[in-house]
């Protein structure tokens, strides 16, 4: 029991020493070049975070994410045909694809897929 406690204490002390040493040695600059440049989205990180953005862009991004997840669900379908019952596989696949097609038709009908209006 004493050996486990000593090993745990040594591990904690060693990790704390390494963290303190890394903090002291690190070259920390307040004005970093990466932080002063715009991020991937193009917003300036120095200004307010409450900038307005296009709700159209948000809608297209959400639709993309939905269809991206659906593609991830569609990809393993051909592999599962080998290990499942053909009748149940066809029924489940058909229902899933029918739901996707109905959703795509609804988004198209609502005008969500058109970028410029």
Report phi then psi at 12, rounded to 5.
-65, -45
Residue 26, number of CB atoms within 10 A of its CB: 8
pLDDT band, very low/low/confident/very high, at 14 (cuts 50, 70, 90): very high
The whole-model pTM stands at 0.47
Break the chain into its structural domains and give their ranges: 55-117
pLDDT at 48: 61
The CA–CA distances, whole Å, from 96 to 60, 73, 76 equal 22, 10, 13
Percent pLDDT > 70 in the chain is 76
Q: In whole angstroms, what is the distance from residue 69 CA to residue 63 CA?
A: 10
Q: In whole angstroms, what is the distance from residue 56 CA to residue 111 CA?
A: 11
């Amino acid at each position: 029991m004493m050996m486990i406690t000593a090993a745990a204490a040594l591990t904690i002390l060693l990790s704390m020493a390494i963290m303190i040493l890394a903090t002291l040695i690190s070259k920390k600059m307040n004005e970093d070049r990466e932080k002063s440049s715009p991020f991937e989205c193009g917003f300036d990180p120095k200004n307010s975070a409450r900038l307005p953005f296009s709700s159209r862009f948000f809608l297209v991004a959400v639709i993309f994410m939905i269809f991206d997840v659906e593609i991830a669900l569609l990809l393993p379908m051909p592999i599962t045909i080998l290990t499942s019952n053909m009748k149940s596989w066809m029924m489940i696949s058909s229902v899933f694809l029918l739901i996707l097609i109905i959703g795509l038709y609804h988004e198209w009908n609502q005008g969500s897929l058109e970028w410029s209006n």
